[in-house]
Structure formats: C-alpha cells, structure tokens
Homo-oligomer: A and B are copies of this chain.
C-alpha cells in the first residue's frame, strides 16, 4: 500500500532502511549534517524510485532561525560538494544551468529565482574573450517554465538550447517535495543523476538527465512542500501501527481515500513564510553555484556582468 511520495533519496531510504544495493555514509560539518547515499543496483533503484547514482543530502534544521553565518556556511558547502562532483571541469568549460519550475507559484519558484542570481558569463566570453587574463568558465542560464504555462515539454526547451550552446555539464535546480515537514527549507539534495520523470513539484514527464540530453546533469533541489496526500497516508499508517488496524488493508485504503478527498484535494503543506524561505534558499544556492564555477574573484566578474 505504500504510496508516500518524496523526492529525497534520504527519505526513500529511511522508509526502506536495509535495502541491498544502497550505501549511506554520514558526516558532520558544524550544524550541517551530510549524508552520502549511493544507489548501485537497478533493483534498489526501482524499489526506491530513485535512479542509480549518488545523492548528497545536506541538512541544517537551524536554518529556520535564519542565521546569516549558517547561510554563508551552507553556500560554501554546496560549492564544495559541486566541485567534488565535477572534478574534471575544464577551466574554460561551458556550463548550462536550468532553473526548473513555475516562477508564478511561490512553492515551485526556486529554480527560476536561482537563475536570476547567477553570474552569467557566456556572452562575455564570446564577445570579449580578452576581458580576462585567465580562462573564464562560460555560464549560461535559463528558466524554461513549466509545461502548463509554456505548452512545451521542459526537456525539449533545454535540448534546443543545449544543441546551440554545447555545454560540458548541465546543472538543474528544482523545488522538491518531502515526506516530513521538518525538512522543508532546511535540506539540500545534490545528485549526479539528473531529474527523474514525474518528480519535482511541477509535472514533467520526460527525465532531464544524461540519457535524454547526452551530457551529465547534476540536480540541486530543496524540498519546499509536503503533498497533503502524503500526510494523510502517513498519518493513517502511523495510526494503524498504534491501533493494530494494520491487518485490515482494505479499511485503511478506504480511510485514506476518505480523508484525502474530504480534506485535501490537490493541496500542499508549506510553512506560512514560504515566500521568505524561497527567497533565502535561492540566494544560498546561487551563491554556492557562483562560487563553485567562478573560482576567481567575485567582484571582478560582478563588475563585468552588471
């Protein structure tokens, strides 16, 4: 009966803790917990509904207090993890960054907002390559919108740009859905697997990954919602555990459907101050990406791109 939805590999593993083909290592960087999950078999991938590859999860529950130093610390950690995932990125590589999601829906706007804060340099490296005395990475960035707003599959828009730009790597940013509300706005998932069909808060049917795009895709996401249906399922299972109702699967299913249809429809759960949270988190991710890709002095680039 399990139909609890999560975009986080770490939560999928929590629900299925002793699965073969999955390894997880944990470490600590001050207030930031780091988990490194590797899904290494096709069976594990199918069971978890998370494709084979590496998932790095950064968790910092104290982010809800909005401490400025932790913002900075987290940006740096994101930069370090990205750098580790891209060990051979050339000094003059081209990087295409895609901010997925719908700018007009706060809980789905992380990707487009990150894109607005990136230091984009491709037009400079093309038009005035002599502007710098050292090689500069060529960054371009796009917020392709969502199918319901554009009428075009997101992957097709990215594919068109990719064919023109010929990037060495694509980084895709997306809003995620978690199972537990405590992870909203406090967790960052970085994966070398791209983005799977059907995941994300928006609806995409084709994967945004190396298979469809022919180039490595690193995905960075932050959970910003819990689907209301997930809460209902989860609540009912919890109660089943407590009451011994567990054997009566038919009844449980019926109860879940009743709760969902009466209370939840297509609802999402978010913190009340989601607007402020998306604002903070998009800045943290943009800073992390800017640091990872432009290892040279910020302000030099900033003066040029402004």
Taking Cβ atoms with an 8 Å cutoff, the residues of A that contact B are: 64-69, 103-108, 115-116, 120-123, 138-145, 147-152, 156-157, 159-161, 163-165, 180-182, 184, 201, 225-226, 228, 231-232, 234-236, 238-239, 242-243, 245, 251, 255, 258-259, 262-276, 298-299, 302-303, 305-306
A116 touching B149, Cβ below 8 Å: yes
A interface, over-half SS: helix
Of B103, B104, B145, B242, the contact of A251 (CB 8 Å cutoff):
B242
Which residues in B have their C-beta under 8 angstroms from that of A236?
A: 235, 239
Q: Smallest Cβ distance from A101 to chain B, in angstroms?
A: 11
Which residues in B have their C-beta under 8 angstroms from that of A275?
A: 104-106
Which residues in B have their C-beta under 8 angstroms from that of A164?
A: 152, 156-157, 159-160
Which residues in B have their C-beta under 8 angstroms from that of A157?
A: 142, 157, 160-161, 164
Q: A120-B150, A159-B164, A236-B239 are in contact. List 12 more A-B contacts (CB 8 A).
A: A64-B306, A68-B302, A105-B272, A106-B106, A106-B275, A115-B149, A139-B151, A142-B145, A143-B145, A232-B235, A267-B271, A269-B269
Q: Smallest Cβ distance from A274 to chain B, in angstroms?
A: 7
Which residues in B have their C-beta under 8 angstroms from that of A140?
A: 150-152
Which residues in B have their C-beta under 8 angstroms from that of A238?
A: 255, 258-259, 262
CA distance A278 to B292 in the complex (A): 28
Known interface pairs A161-B152, A269-B228; A255-B276 also in contact (CB < 8 Å) = no
CA distance A120 to B145 in the complex (A): 12
A66 touching B302, Cβ below 8 Å: yes
Number of copies of this protein chain within its complex: 4
Known interface pairs A67-B303, A150-B120, A160-B164; A270-B268 also in contact (CB < 8 Å) = yes
Of B150, B235, B270, B306, the contact of A141 (CB 8 Å cutoff):
B150
CA distance A259 to B181 in the complex (A): 11
A149 touching B120, Cβ below 8 Å: yes
Q: Smallest Cβ distance from A239 to chain B, in angstroms?
A: 6
Can you list 15 A-B pairs, Cβ within 8 angstroms, ordered by A?
A65-B302, A104-B275, A105-B276, A106-B106, A123-B147, A157-B157, A160-B161, A181-B228, A181-B264, A182-B262, A201-B272, A226-B263, A238-B262, A242-B255, A269-B269
**Chain B, Cβ-Cβ closest to A184:** B267
Of B122, B150, B225, B272, the contact of A107 (CB 8 Å cutoff):
B272
B121 touching A151, Cβ below 8 Å: yes
Q: Smallest Cβ distance from A133 to chain B, in angstroms?
A: 19
